[in-house]
């Protein structure tokens, strides 16, 4: 047993429980130094930096994890998430694409990829990714809203209507906003019960 790793990991956990995130990160980094091959700890450090909005550090740690464990779909998702938050849309797409290649059922990665494509104005690619996110999580109002907006940008009114219908079923309040923002007052009947 590596007692240095164990001691620092335990200290990190305690600092985390006490809400002292910076101290937790430092302790986990010491645990990583004591056990350089422990990618679980390195992933945790990257994740915690992301929680603290230290995106450069988060990206550096997560990039290291992905390089050393290229088949870790969760690490690729987290790297995509960090790059998305940093507005590095193309790099986020690349990380999310690797995540869904490894774990095709990872709806969050499909959603992230779709949103990054939308930010770049790639609405057809956004729609393809968001279709998969909505298929995997049919009650995800965020996915249906974004999918509907992608189809709105693509001037596909039938697909906008389909998205509004699904959104009205799973998230009526968001459907109301979507109908207004997509300029489709003809679909108001879907949410007229909301007033």
pLDDT for 22-46, tens place per residue?
Answer: 999 999 999 999 998 899 999 999 9
Is the pLDDT reported for residue 1 higher than 90? no
Task: Please say if the pLDDT value at position 51 is more than 80.
Answer: yes
Residue among 88, 91, 29, 38 nearest 68 (CA): 38
Mean pLDDT, the chain, integer: 95
> Three-class SS of residue 182?
coil
**Residue 195 pLDDT > 70, yes or no?**
no
Which single residue is written with the structure tokens 């998969």?
132
pLDDT at 193: 82
Determine the distance from the C-alpha atom of residue 21 to the mean position of all C-alpha atoms in its chain, rounded to a whole number: 21
Helix, strand, or coil here: 139?
A: coil
pLDDT digits (tens, 9 = 90+) for 68-94: 999 999 999 999 999 999 999 999 999
Between helix 55-68 and helix 39-51 the angle, nearest 10°, is 160
Euclidean distance between the first and final Cα of the chain, in Å?
Answer: 64
Helix (H) or strand (E) holding 11: helix 3-17
Q: Mind listing the domains of the chain with CATH numbers?
A: 104-195 (1.25.40.10)
Q: Say how far apart CA 76 and CA 187 lie, in whole Å.
A: 38
**Report field, pTM of the whole predicted structure over 0.85:** yes
């Amino acid at each position: 047993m590596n007692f240095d790793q164990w001691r620092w990991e335990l200290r990190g956990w305690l600092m985390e429980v006490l809400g002292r995130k910076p101290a937790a990160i430092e302790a986990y980094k010491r645990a990583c130094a004591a056990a350089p091959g422990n990618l679980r700890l390195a992933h945790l450090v990257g994740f915690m930096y992301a929680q603290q909005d230290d995106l450069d550090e988060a990206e550096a740690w997560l990039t290291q994890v992905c390089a050393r464990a290229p088949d870790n779909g969760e690490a690729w998702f987290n790297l995509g998430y960090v790059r998305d938050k940093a507005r590095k849309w193309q790099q986020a797409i690349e990380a999310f694409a690797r995540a869904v290649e490894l774990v095709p059922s990872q709806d969050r990665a499909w959603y992230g990829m779709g949103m990054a494509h939308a930010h770049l104005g790639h609405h057809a690619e956004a729609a393809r990714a968001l279709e998969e996110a909505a298929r995997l999580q049919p009650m995800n109002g965020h996915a249906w809203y974004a999918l509907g907006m992608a189809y709105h940008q693509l001037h596909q009114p039938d697909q906008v209507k389909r998205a509004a219908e699904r959104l009205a079923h799973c998230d009526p309040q968001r459907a109301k906003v979507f109908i207004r923002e997509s300029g489709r007052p003809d679909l108001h009947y879907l949410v007229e019960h909301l007033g």
